[in-house]
Amino acid sequence: MRNFDELDEMIGEYEKGKMDRRTFLSKAVLMGLTLSSVNAFLLSSGTSAKEASAQTPPAGRPADITVGFFPSWVGGWSGAVIRNRELWKKHLPAGSKVDWDVHVVGAPVANNLMAGKLQIGYLGDTPGMIATTKRDIADLRIVEFNMFSNTGQICACLLVRNDAPPFKTLDEALQWLVGKKIGVSGKGSCGDRFVSGLLKRHNIKAEVQYLDPTIVKTALQSKKIDAAQSFQPHVAQIMNEGLGRLAFTGARWNWQEGNVILMRKDFIDAYPDAAKGWIKADIEALQFMLKYPYETVKIVAKELPGYSTRDLWMSLYGQYPKNVDSMETNAIAQVGFDEPVMRYISEAFQFLHSIGVIKIDKPLPGAVYPDLVNAAIREMGVKIPLGTFKGLPPAAFKG
């Protein structure tokens, strides 16, 4: 009888508007009611269990936002998930609007951020760091380090022509590069940092050609270049289509790389609740990516014509060949700025300064802006990193 009395009282409070729908659903399930029975009641009240469980958008000033990302880079995939699943509606103040600026490379995202055409942008770490140094053009802040790798397996990938000799050791592969033509996916990119550092560290004299990532594929296939750096998912596509062969990744050197989310400072100041809400949406997207690999690649495939779901799955969830000195972990759903990430950012700035890419050897004050992500982490009750993307054998791919 007690349960009936409690249920009767709870229904009365709900119908009088004294209890919100989400609370009603939670309490009803805790009392042992099935979701189907609760759903039947809610439907009779003009709603559904799905609607009842939806989170009410937070308070705050609604924002009209344009977000830039490029799905041809795994670091931008959480943006694709937010878009497809409309997670921003859950975390941004009610009345907010979002438009999308989708590209195949990162440079337009950086340019549009600086031009004020975007408020939020997903960029590889190196172009993202470089963009923060141009404060005379625009004040851009790194607000989240959403993806990180200490194995060099999302950007620091070196491919060779199919007719290159088989290499028994990494040293053989490095020696073969002497005097060769090496394509690099963009000047000032994560790949540029990797190849520049590699050649300098091993005193390799080679001809570097900066190419669009899509041109890298055809140049490698037509033998206009001998080797090429590329990033995921381009690497997986090149391998799956037999356009080239992976020689090694940055795993041997524990190469660090990642993706950042940039926001304009004037946007953060004007719409702090929306800025924080976006990071919450990205955290939820990363959690989805960790839990649902196949659903994730299907989402990305909608944004990226020409790539098979196998290409996309292999690029983040697949296991690298054993003969390329790869490691188990491909990437980390990082989110926040812990000590390893801050040390990496410091070292990256020093390196970029040493090769003349930027004029300063450390971030400008406030360029790394942890306030928003720290608040989001605290309010969502999550721990960082959220998890790791570990390579699975090809047989694990379900199609």
Q: Return averaged pLDDT per consecutive 10 residues of the chain, 399 residues in all.
A: 62 60 70 68 47 66 97 97 97 98 90 98 95 98 98 96 95 97 90 93 96 92 96 96 96 95 98 98 98 96 95 97 91 97 95 92 98 98 97 90
Per the structure, the count of domains in the chain is 3
**Given the DSSP bridges, would you call strands 207-210 and 181-184 parallel, antiparallel or unpaired?**
parallel
CATH of the domain at 216: 3.40.190.10
In a domain, 18, yes or no: yes
Identity of the residue numbered 209: Q
> Which of 157, 360, 368 lies closest to 260 in space, CA to CA?
368
Check residue 329 and give its pLDDT.
97
Domain containing 323 equals 64-150+256-396
Q: Which of 207, 222, 253 is the last residue of a domain?
A: 253
Residue 368 DSSP class? B
Structure tokens at 226: 């001998």
Check residue 247 and give its pLDDT.
97
Check residue 81 and give its pLDDT.
98
Asked whether residue 124 falls in the same domain as residue 143, the answer is: yes
Distance in angstroms (rounded) separating the CA atoms of residues 286 and 117: 26
> Which of 250, 94, 226, 91 lies closest to 157 in space, CA to CA?
250
Asked whether residue 294 falls in the same domain as residue 374, the answer is: yes
Asked whether residue 383 falls in the same domain as residue 288, the answer is: yes
Check residue 364 and give its pLDDT.
98
